[in-house]
């Protein structure tokens, strides 16, 4: 009798993908938030008159 061997079950964990997307979302949100404080500061630094 032939023995049927099932292939090993591959773990389908999406934790790494979710962590990458969450990190990118956090970075995008942080840059957007800090932009409001940087605009007046950069206006005073880059004043050409």
Residue 40 pLDDT > 70, yes or no?
yes
Check: pTM over 0.85? Answer yes or no.
no
Q: Kindly state the average pLDDT of the residues 3-9.
A: 72
Distance CA 45, CA 32 (A): 20
DSSP 46: T
Q: Which residue has the higher pLDDT, 26 or 15?
A: 26
In the chain, alpha helices (H): 15-45
**b/e per residue 31-47 (b: at least 16 CB within 10 A):** eeeeeeeeeeeeeeeee
Residue 16 pLDDT > 60, yes or no?
yes
């Amino acid at each position: 009798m032939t023995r049927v061997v099932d292939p090993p079950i591959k773990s389908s964990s999406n934790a790494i993908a979710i962590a990458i997307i969450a990190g990118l979302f956090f970075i995008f949100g942080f840059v957007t938030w800090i932009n409001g404080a940087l605009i007046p500061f950069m206006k005073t630094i880059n004043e050409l008159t």
